[in-house]
Amino acid sequence: MSAKKLFIQTLGCAMNVRDSEHMVAELTQKENYSLTENIKEADLILINTCSVREKPVHKLFSEVGSFEKVKKKDAKIGVCGCTASHLGNEIFRRAPYVDFVLGARNISKIAEAVNTPKFISVDIDYDESEFAFADFRNSIYKSYINISIGCDKHCTYCIVPHTRGDEISIPFDIIYNEAKKAVQKGAKEIFLLGQNVNNYGKRFRNNHKKMDFSDLLEELSTIEGLERIRFTSPHPLHMDDKFLEVFSQNPKICKSMHMPLQSGSNEILKAMKRGYTKEWYLNRALKLRELCPNVSISTDIIVAFPGESEKDFEDTMDVLEKVRFEQMFSFKYSKRPLTKAATMPNQIDPEVASQRLSILQNRHNEILDEIVEKQNDKEFKVLFEELRPNNSIAGRTDNNFLVQVEHSEELLGQIKNVKIKNAKRMVLYGELI
């Protein structure tokens, strides 16, 4: 029997990318599907949704509406992920042509969903931490690996705890075996995923080997053939000295740290329920710079959170000046359903929000240009993983700069020394040494 065709669209974060890989694995290996990039020939169309970015509900119904118009007659449409978790049955009401709805914490049920009319499962307490997924990866050189699911933080602006449930760690042996198998199949790098990775080990489903995130990193680094370990996202609250020292000293851990700031104001951080202060954040970031001079630090910042004053915004700018982030993801605050911040008083005028975001981004671009200029004539080890036009190939340095050289696909999956010749804000152009 010929394989049925599966088309999948993934929105949002790296965890969604990994969830999509899990669903593809279950369907291709257990339900006789094969992937297609042509939506018109698909027998099954999946959209794996995100609730974090702006207007996710509008995005969902716009996309599934366009799918319905182009799909072939008997093709099924499934809505999965975070927006599925919080909308549930409303998806069937607003888009009756959708065949099933599967929440972010229920993706192990994908085969059952495909085979059950109007199936819905959006339980955020469902525990998949010990489920043995089939294996599929978009890249043979890099492997995403979940180390926890859910989040206990309940930041007042964030919908994730309402879509992915409480945090639970995945047992070490499952993570280790998955990493080892990926390396045996050609992966040079593993990318560990969790809402707060450095809170790993606080809660397991059953009795398992106790360890914290630093211990997990050290154990995984013993895998023979594994060259690089990355992870996202750590929480500033859990960046103890042990974690920073293991990060700095272990040569297999890539020297790229994501430190979500959100705000530099203690008042706003308290209103956000972030759990740390501006002083703690600066202490951790500057200690990291001291321990690991070649580290690159990235961050997330929200401007115009409810009640943010000019002084609060100046505190955020002060952190920007002191840390000088190599990468910054910045947004105007926008309301999310089910979150406390959505009903807070003193919502900020959109024009003021836009002005503050522009000031923040313009100053960061100036800092970034200074950082980038210093990369000229430096030498980096680059893991090449992406073909680009005009006979070029690109990859990442240990500290996460994107580097492009002129070369052919034979470099894919290899780590090579590169000297930077023309450093630009988005890409460092170099030559093989």
Residues near 298 by beta carbon (within 8 Å), at least 6 away in sequence:
256, 257, 258, 259, 325, 326, 327, 328, 329, 400
Residue 76 in contact with residue 99, Cβ under 8 Å? yes
- Is 254 annotated in some ligand binding site? no
d(CA 198, CA 215): 10
DSSP annotation of 141 reads: S
- Is 13 annotated in some ligand binding site? yes
The candidate with the shortest Cα–Cα distance to 230, out of 257, 198, 203, is 257
Q: Which helix (H) or strand (E) holds 285?
A: helix 278-291
Residue 223 in contact with residue 262, Cβ under 8 Å? no
Retrieve residue 155's tokens.
């930041």
d(CA 412, CA 140): 10
- Is 50 annotated in some ligand binding site? yes
Measured in whole angstroms, the distance separating CA 428 from the mean position of its chain's CA atoms is 23
Residue 396 in contact with residue 382, Cβ under 8 Å? yes
Q: How far is CA 358 from CA 263, 298, 303, 362, 387, in A?
A: 15, 18, 10, 6, 33
Report the DSSP pairing between strands 142-146 and 148-149.
Answer: unpaired
- CB half-sphere exposure, 248, CA atoms < 13 A: 18
Alpha helices in 79-145 (DSSP H): 82-87, 90-94, 110-114
Binding-site entries for [4Fe-4S] cluster: 13, 50, 82, 151, 155, 158
Binding-site entries: 13, 50, 82, 151, 155, 158
